Amino acid sequence: LSLSRNGVNILGTNAEDIDRAEDRSKFSKLLDELGIKQPKWSKLETIEDAERFAEEIGYPVLVRPSYVLSGSAMRVAFDGEELRKYLMEAARVSRDHPVVISKFMTNAREVEVDGVSDGENVFIGAIIEHVENAGIHSGDATMSIPTLTITEEVKEKIRDYTRRIARALRIKGPFNIQYLVKDGEVYVIECNLRASRSMPFVSKAIGVNLMELAADAILGKPVPNGEGRVEEWWVKAPQFSFMRLEGADPVTGVEMVSTGEVACSGKTFEEAFLNALRAAGLKIPSRGDPILITVGGAKEGIVPVAKRLYMGGFRILATEHTAEVLEKNGVKCEVLHKVYEGKRPNVIDYIINRKIKFIINIPAFSNGLHSSMVAEDEYLIRRKAVEYGIPVITNLELAEAFSDAILKIGSGTGLNGGTKKNLR
Domains belonging to the chain, first-starting first, are 1-38+106-282 (3.30.470.20), 40-104 (3.30.1490.20), 283-409 (3.40.50.1380)
Distance of alpha carbon 378 from alpha carbon 372, whole angstroms? 10
Residues 6+ apart with CB under 8 A from 6: none
CA distances from 324 to 97, 315, 321, 336, 365 (A): 48, 16, 5, 12, 20
163: helix, strand or coil: helix
Q: How confident is the model at residue 243 (pLDDT cuts 50, 70, 90)?
A: confident
- In this prediction, residue 370 carries a pLDDT of 40
Distance of alpha carbon 37 from alpha carbon 181, whole angstroms? 11
- In this prediction, residue 46 carries a pLDDT of 92
Q: How confident is the model at residue 374 (pLDDT cuts 50, 70, 90)?
A: low
**Average pLDDT of the chain, as a whole number:** 91
Alpha helices (H) along 180-262:
199-206, 210-218
- In this prediction, residue 401 carries a pLDDT of 98
CA distances from 207 to 124, 204, 212, 293, 419 (A): 13, 5, 12, 39, 11
- In this prediction, residue 368 carries a pLDDT of 42
Work out the number of other CB atoms within 10 angstroms of the CB of residue 363: 18
Q: How confident is the model at residue 369 (pLDDT cuts 50, 70, 90)?
A: very low
pLDDT tens, 262-274? 999 999 999 999 9
Q: What pTM did the predictor assign?
A: 0.91
pLDDT tens, 46-103? 999 999 999 999 999 999 876 554 445 788 999 999 999 888 876 677 777 889 999 9
Backbone angles phi, psi at 16, to 5 degrees: -65, -40
pLDDT tens, 296-342? 877 889 999 999 999 999 999 999 999 999 999 999 999 999 888 88
Residues linked to residue 101 through DSSP beta bridges, in sequence order: 42, 63
Q: How confident is the model at residue 367 (pLDDT cuts 50, 70, 90)?
A: very low
Q: Could you tell me if residue 251 is left (phi over 0), alpha (psi between -120 and 50 degrees) or otherwise beta?
A: beta
What would the mean pLDDT of 141-155 be, rounded to a whole number? 98
- Bond from prior residue into 345 cis (ω within 30 degrees of 0): yes
Of 116, 134, 139, 136, which is closest to residue 126 (Cα–Cα)? 116
Q: How confident is the model at residue 424 (pLDDT cuts 50, 70, 90)?
A: low
Instruction: Please say whether the beta carbons of 104 and 60 come within 8 A.
Output: yes
- In this prediction, residue 373 carries a pLDDT of 64
pLDDT tens, 160-181? 999 999 999 999 999 999 999 9
- In this prediction, residue 246 carries a pLDDT of 81
pLDDT higher than threshold 70 for residue 389? yes
- In this prediction, residue 412 carries a pLDDT of 61
Residues of the chain with pLDDT > 90, as a percent, come to: 76
* Higher pLDDT among residues 30 and 423, named by residue: 30
* Higher pLDDT among residues 366 and 72, named by residue: 72
- In this prediction, residue 93 carries a pLDDT of 77
Q: Are strands 172-182 and 392-393 parallel, antiparallel or unpaired?
A: unpaired
Residues 6+ apart with CB under 8 A from 318: 292, 293, 294, 306, 326, 333, 334, 335, 336
